[in-house]
Amino acid sequence: MHHDTLIFSCALIGALGLGAQWIAWRIQAPAIVLMALAGLAVGPFWAVVFGNPASPLFYGVEGALLDPSHEFGDLLRPIVSLAVAVILFEGGLALKFENLRDAGAAVRRMVFVGGPLAWVLGSLAAYYAAGLDWASAIVFAGVMVVTGPTVIMPLLRQSKLGGRTGAALKWEGIVNDPVGALFAVAAYEIIRVLAQGQSVIGAAIWIVFAASVGVALGVAFGWGIMRAFRAGWTPEFLKAPIIFASIIMCYGIAELMEKEIGLVAVTAYGMTLANSRLAGLAELRKFKEDIAVLLVSGVFVILTANLTPEMIGAALTWQTLLFLICMLFIVRPLSVWISTYGTLKRNEAILLGWIAPRGIVAVAVSGLFGSLLVDLSRNSTFDIYGADRIAPLAFAMVFATVVLHGFTISPMARWLGLARKERPGVLVVGVNPWSMGLSQTLQEASIDTILADSNWRRLRPAREAGLETFFGEVLSEEAEVRLDHSRFETVAALSTNEPYNALVCGHFAPELGRHKVHQLSPQDGDEEDPRIIGMGTRGRTLMKRGRSYDALVRDLYRGWEFARTQLTEKYGLDEFYADRPKSDLIAEIRPDKSIVFLGPNREPRGGEGVILVSFGPPDTTEIGQDAAEAATA
């Protein structure tokens, strides 16, 4: 290990990983691809183009700017292993059993029948097509069962794919995250025990026992943390660090008991906490997400930079192409079609049989077990061929699936009639009398509207009024799964809490665009006041400046009403303004059913067929409606 360049290498890994994530966010591209490209650029690509082993500036063995094996030496394996452990804990923390029950029969069969079937078929493809030996093929195929939510969710938003098909893809990705990794753990453990000369039956019994011990340890950690937090034995500021430290401790104890059982233990730990209904788990998830982003970024850069030009060249063969064809056009379709027979329509089965992008867990776990198999082959008489090709094959699979599925999911969903035909509508966040009135008006205008709130009692009037509601915190990770993002393209944050509205707008702005998130004017009406939330962190102001929630609800109780007025050739904007001089214009619904919320410097465009949504005194409401109807007649 070169201590003089180790700090530089760590800084470079962090800068490349987080920089790739930031660029992916800015250009709305898959982060997994950009992180992999960043590692390749400073690893094998640098070695080929700029490499010079004798250079006094760069110390890479192969002339690479970053050579993790050389820089970290024996520490590389523990670093990657701990990162993978935290990533799998995150996967377990997203898996609630009640959500699995809600996912439907098709998803359960895709996981519990299709998963093992894909493992078997994938092993055959890896052996006969990719040219791996049986040991490497079985371990690698187990990992390739994974279709992570980190790549599925952006595709679903991009394609506007909702309904049963979108839900199936989403839940499969969530459940398969830990399942595929456990397949690989089981396969590796069997191979490792066989390499020590034990019988097949003895190896199977030992694996079952060791896995049971790992699960029990993970459950014990989860139960202990749950009891400690509920009893108030730990202060709030220490809860997140304790969770992180306990993940490492759980993994370390399990590894002392049996090699690689730690991955089983931390997955069981995460699942135990996910199903514990522990108060404050949302805040713990936020800390976990921040740590996971750092670790995922680092692992991706390390794994890709650790590839050599020779390894990449050995992977870029006709065998790799044949393997990809088998996985994409045979293994995935057959496993889905067979496992879901009788539960899905033909068009749904066809789309599900094609879309299966691999993501973070697939690459991270593949890289870990590939290196473990290489070491196992070196340190035993058990000959394992092709283990060094597992990581390049995993990256090839990721690139192929992310690119192909990313470009084809939208046209294929439309061709199969599965994409939403209705235009995405509005997510209204915050239930109160004024937001309910607006939601009812939009719904009556055939705008798909979802009214969201985290308080079940506040949602009751909306449910009784027949409005579609979402119960939950829209900022939470759970809402990423349960809330159908394909159903809205505009957000109106209308709660009584202005800072919360700003948070909601900031949360959805990267996905929808800053011009698609709106909130009410500040209570004091002065948006330039330095003491309030700045314009750069708020959503766009809805209606006029100074029309805060207090002012609007006061007018509502004075009898003001919401109205929909359709413009015609004879009744245009001038006539509307003349009839309703005191009314507030809220939105403009255009003939294509797109909705544009109005505000400062955003005047209505008008035109025949446009519907104006306004809020005004009852006398002008009737005048405007009567005049529009008379002009239409």
> Which pLDDT belongs to residue 428?
93
Confidence class for position 203, pLDDT limits 50, 70, 90: low
Coil, strand, or helix at residue 465? Answer: coil
pLDDT score of 210 more than 70: yes
pLDDT score of 423 more than 90: no
pLDDT score of 468 more than 80: yes
Confidence class for position 30, pLDDT limits 50, 70, 90: low
Fold of 3-415: Na+/H+ antiporter like fold (1.20.1530)
- d(CA 308, CA 67) in angstroms, rounded, equals 9
Does residue 584 or residue 206 have the better pLDDT? 584
Arithmetic mean of pLDDT, 424-451? 90
- d(CA 314, CA 465) in angstroms, rounded, equals 64
Which pLDDT tens digit goes with each residue over 214-272? 889 999 998 998 888 888 888 877 887 888 888 889 988 988 877 767 878 888 888 88
Confidence class for position 162, pLDDT limits 50, 70, 90: low
Confidence class for position 148, pLDDT limits 50, 70, 90: low
Among the four given CATH numbers 3.40.50.1460, 3.40.462.20, 3.30.460.10, 3.40.50.720, the one describing domain 422-556: 3.40.50.720
**Contact in structure between 285 and 346 (CB atoms under 8 Å):** no
pLDDT score of 535 more than 60: no
Which residues neighbour 294 within 8 Å (Cβ) at sequence distance 6 or greater? Answer: 14, 17, 18
Share of residues in the chain with pLDDT > 70 (%): 81
> Which pLDDT belongs to residue 627?
45
DSSP per residue over 56-119, as a string? SS---TTS-S--HHHHHGGGHHHHHHHHHHHHHHHHHHT--HHHHHHT-HHHHHHHHTHHHHHH
> Which pLDDT belongs to residue 628?
46
Confidence class for position 28, pLDDT limits 50, 70, 90: low
Ordered by start, the domain boundaries in the chain are 3-415, 422-556, 559-633
Confidence class for position 157, pLDDT limits 50, 70, 90: low
Confidence class for position 287, pLDDT limits 50, 70, 90: low
pLDDT score of 619 more than 80: no
Share of residues in the chain with pLDDT > 90 (%): 10
> Which pLDDT belongs to residue 276?
78
Measuring CA to CA, how many Å separate 203 from each of 29, 104, 194, 195, 496?
Answer: 44, 35, 7, 10, 62
Tokens 């990581």, located at residue: 391
Confidence class for position 622, pLDDT limits 50, 70, 90: very low
Report the mean per-residue pLDDT for the chain. 79
Query: 596 — phi, psi (to 5°)?
Result: -125, 120
- d(CA 335, CA 271) in angstroms, rounded, equals 26
DSSP state of 538: S
pLDDT score of 55 more than 60: no
Question: Among 202-216, 308-322, 374-388, 521-535, which stretch is predicted with the lowest mean pLDDT?
Answer: 521-535
> Which pLDDT belongs to residue 260?
66
Residue 277 buriedness (CB in 10 A; 0-12 / 13-18 / 19+) = exposed
pLDDT score of 65 more than 60: yes
Confidence class for position 492, pLDDT limits 50, 70, 90: very high
Does residue 124 or residue 405 have the better pLDDT? 124
Q: Which of 201, 172, 17, 22 has the alpha carbon at shortest distance from 91?
A: 172
pLDDT score of 328 more than 90: yes
Whether CATH 3.30.70 fits 559-633: yes
Task: Output the CA torsion sign for 132, 137, 143, 147.
Answer: positive
- d(CA 224, CA 590) in angstroms, rounded, equals 57
Question: Among 123-132, 382-391, 560-569, which stretch is predicted with the lowest mean pLDDT?
Answer: 382-391
Confidence class for position 117, pLDDT limits 50, 70, 90: very high
> Which pLDDT belongs to residue 322?
93
**Contact in structure between 168 and 351 (CB atoms under 8 Å):** no
**Contact in structure between 629 and 571 (CB atoms under 8 Å):** no
pLDDT score of 196 more than 80: no
Question: Among 193-202, 267-276, 382-391, 430-439, which stretch is predicted with the lowest mean pLDDT?
Answer: 193-202
